[in-house]
Amino acid sequence: MNRQKRILMAMSGGLDSSVAAILLQKMGYEIIGITMKLWTYDDNSLSNNKSCCDIDAMNDAREVAVQLNIPHYVLDFTEPFKNIVIQNFLDEYLHARTPNPCILCNIHLKWNALVEKAAELNCDYIATGHYATIRKENDRYFVSKSKDIKKDQSYVLWGLTQEHLAKTMFPLGDYTKEEIREIAKNMGFNRIANKRESYDICFIPDNNYRNFLQQQVPQLERLCPPGNFINTSGEIIGTHKGYPFYTIGQRKGLVIALGTPKYVCRINAQTNEITLGDKEDLLSDTLTIKQYNLMKYAEIPPDFTGQTKIRYKDKGQLASIIYQDKDCIKIKFQSPVSAITAGQSAVIYEENDIVAGGIIDLV
């Protein structure tokens, strides 16, 4: 007799992962809940504000597990999270780039840890509460957009490998957020159903990354002192507070009056200069990605055109995708796009399916 399939369910204590566990259990799977502790919560260098991953969230995850009568474990990943995700976050800003820590965490920490723990606990799959689906064609696994396009999270999953995807389930992919909320209410999880959603970076719940940089890098002012704002002609027009405090496309908080709205167009760490320009100066039609991951195809098809997103909420624009070499893919947009930002991710879609994704390098 075949044993019941066992799933390692990543549980954050929020609505989505809780209902994902409920759905899998109703489908007849044996569920083991796991919550990842990503930092020391009494660390005074981190914000004390509530986040999606704080101690209360861990307690909520345990409470749901108790109600579902499933085992629940907490994995302490504070050290690797600090060494991999937070250190990269700091390094990128110090090099005038804008990181996306959630994507890095997925690629280098969460999935590796979950797959390893699943093997240890003799689980057949891992599952998360992401709004996305997984498809398989021609012996290739790939992420596809969820039913609820407004909540779709496929963009942050571009880095998952074939090995990861073969062992992963996304139970929420065929549901809308409201359907998930109704399931929670119908199952008696009213408090979970009404929990506030978190949109912030988990280790910066107050969404003030500038304060976080100052807390984590005591020598920040010495490393990145104030420098010059320049215009697109190279003329000095003011003084900035330190280039890590600015991002491409930023308009507010520049503390400079030039008569018309200006935007951060370029950040040069070597010269310690920030270029301000008009909205049109943010437009560009070319970028390259490195550290990329191929998903739907083992190779980029010849003369391939795909819908490419350069940020999470981006609708995407058609672009020609040109394979350069094993380290680099060039993306040429059919129409210029605004505020391409080094350190962010570009994700290439064929209709709803992810073809590839990578870190924006040259812009």
Active site residues: 105, 202
Q: 210: closest CA among 221, 199, 202? A: 221
Which two tokens mark 330?
A: 């060039």
Query: Locate tokens 């083991």: which residue?
Result: 32
What's the rounded Cα separation, in Å, for the pair 361 and 356?
15
* Cα angle: 302, vertex 303, 309; to 5 degrees: 110
HEC sequence for the chain? CCCCCEEEEECCCCHHHHHHHHHHHHCCCEEEEEEEECCCCCCCCCCCCCCCCCHHHHHHHHHHHHHHCCCEEEEECHHHHHHHHHHHHHHHHHCCCCCCHHHHHHHHHHHHHHHHHHHHCCCCEEECCCCCEEEEECCEEEEECCCCHHHCCHHHHCCCCHHHHHCEECCCCCCCHHHHHHHHHHCCCHHHHCCCCCCCCCCCCCCCHHHHHHHHCCCHHHHCCCEEEECCCCCEEEEECCHHHCCCCCCCCCCCCCCCCCEEEEEECCCCEEEEECHHHHEEEEEEEEEEEECCCCCCCCCEEEEEECCCCCCCEEEEEEEEECCEEEEEEEEEEECCCCCCEEEEEECCEEEEEEEECCC
3-class state of residue 257 by DSSP: coil
